[in-house]
Amino acid sequence: MERSILGAIFGSLLGIGTLGGLALIGATPNPGPGKPEGNWRLLDPVIYENITIFPVVSSTGQDTSPFLTLDEGLSSGEVIVSEQGAAGLARTRDGRPVTVPQYNSGASVNQLVLINRSKRPLLLLAGELVSGGKQDRIIGKDRIVPVGSDPLPLDVFCVEHGRWTGASSQFGASKTIVHPSVREQAAVAQNQNEVWDAVRSGTLSKARTAGGAAGQPAAPPAPLSSVVIGDTIATAAPTQAYAKIYEGGRVGASVDSFVEELQRRFNRATLGLKGERVVGVVVAYGGDVAWSDIFASGELFEHYWSKLLRSYAVEALARPTYRETAAITDAREFLRNLNGREVVESEPGVYRWREITEGRLSLIELESVTPKAMTLHRLLLHRTS
């Protein structure tokens, strides 16, 4: 009864119908707990070393062109991200000056200020990195920033522990999204200390141990072990900046070669699709399905794909090198709707964010309200903590 009432309330607020207490987005009904949702199909897996990627394809897609992404907005100057308490001038891509007013008395580790000056609503994904200011940060939660909104206090997490100074209070596009172990701590755990721990250690996943219940052997060493990451911090990234640890030097070179081969295999596996587009992926490490990112359109997926792929590669290199392959039946579990505790946040007329927790699984969906109701991004993960 409670879910039925809630469904009717949200249906009324968002302008979407209800059927049996379940919200309808457009003409597609929510199939209910435990059932596949979305017009999705899994392709054969793309396998390399200890990672398996199942492309998610769909014969239908939404028009996501009305939305602006963070990289686009920062690069054009239409979006400004600044430390709190900052005032001064920023410039758009064509050199036009833009005044940045002062909003608060002082900078804060876990909050920045964002201005959307574009004519499109801005899409933000948890884990996207902005560089500059007093220290690099990542977006804390998926959300949409509407056109013409007031300066927005933006919740963030620090991924550069050892710096609190900078020549400019402004932030630029890094075209980076942090790898799943870090992203989980921001998007789900919402814990700054766990974010720092995941940056320093590479992964918070629990390695198997000899003599365990499953009788598995001890975990083989990870290419990006905590020792390797520690050496990189000591020699090349003394402020523990995420980008300097994972995108440069010895670690960056390892990730680059891994990504290149994985991308080649992915391109081959998705070549020649007829009437379908890749809209997302389900990702497994060894035999364990761990993560999925699915978008409302192929265009939106393509925008995020290069930095998502790199993030998955970093995670793979930081995890033990088990060579088992996950079953497609397990991957399909990451396409279903969960049944569990639900938390909903919304900005009326703009977006609705919800998280459903079922056991060790967490599902996060970001739904736009205008200019059209649609689920822009769907994340489902098996939590490591």
Separation of CA 52 from chain center: 18
Q: What is the pLDDT of residue 87?
A: 55
> CA dist 369 to 152, 206, 219, 347, 375, Å?
19, 38, 46, 9, 9
pLDDT at 23: 34
Q: Do 140 and 157 form a contact (C-beta atoms < 8 A)?
A: yes
Taking CB atoms within 8 Å and a gap of at least 24, the contacts of 202-206 are 202/226, 202/229, 202/314, 202/317, 202/318, 203/179, 203/315, 203/318, 203/319, 203/384, 204/384, 204/385, 205/181, 205/285, 205/290, 205/319, 205/384, 206/384
This prediction's pTM: 0.84
Q: How far apart are CA 207 and CA 221, in angstroms?
A: 10
Instruction: Report the distance separating Cα 93 and Cα 89, nearest Å.
Output: 13
Rounded Cα distance, 284 and 46, in Å: 10
From the list 100, 4, 55, 50, the residue with the least C-alpha distance to 271 is 55
pLDDT of res. 9: 39
Token pair in block for residue 88:
């001064």
- Rounded distance, CA 207 to CA 218, Å? 8
DSSP labels, 235-268: HT-TT-BHHHHHSSHHHHHHHHHHHHHHHHHHHH
Backbone φ and ψ of 46, nearest 5° = -100, 120
Residues in the chain: 385
Each residue's pLDDT, cut to its tens digit, for the chain (385 residues) gives 333 334 433 344 443 333 222 233 333 334 444 445 568 999 999 999 999 999 999 999 899 999 999 999 999 999 999 998 765 444 444 555 555 555 555 678 899 999 999 999 999 999 999 999 999 999 999 999 999 989 999 999 999 998 888 878 899 988 999 999 999 999 999 999 999 999 999 988 775 544 344 556 677 888 998 899 999 999 999 999 999 999 988 899 999 999 999 999 999 999 999 999 999 999 999 999 999 999 999 999 999 999 999 999 999 999 988 888 999 999 999 999 999 999 999 999 999 999 999 999 999 999 999 989 999 999 999 998 7
Q: Which is nearest to 138 in space by CA: 159, 109, 166, 165?
A: 159
Element (H, E) at 292: strand 288-295
Residue 18 confidence (pLDDT): 30
DSSP H helical segments within the chain, as ranges?
A: 2-14, 70-76, 180-184, 192-201, 226-235, 242-246, 249-269, 298-318, 328-332
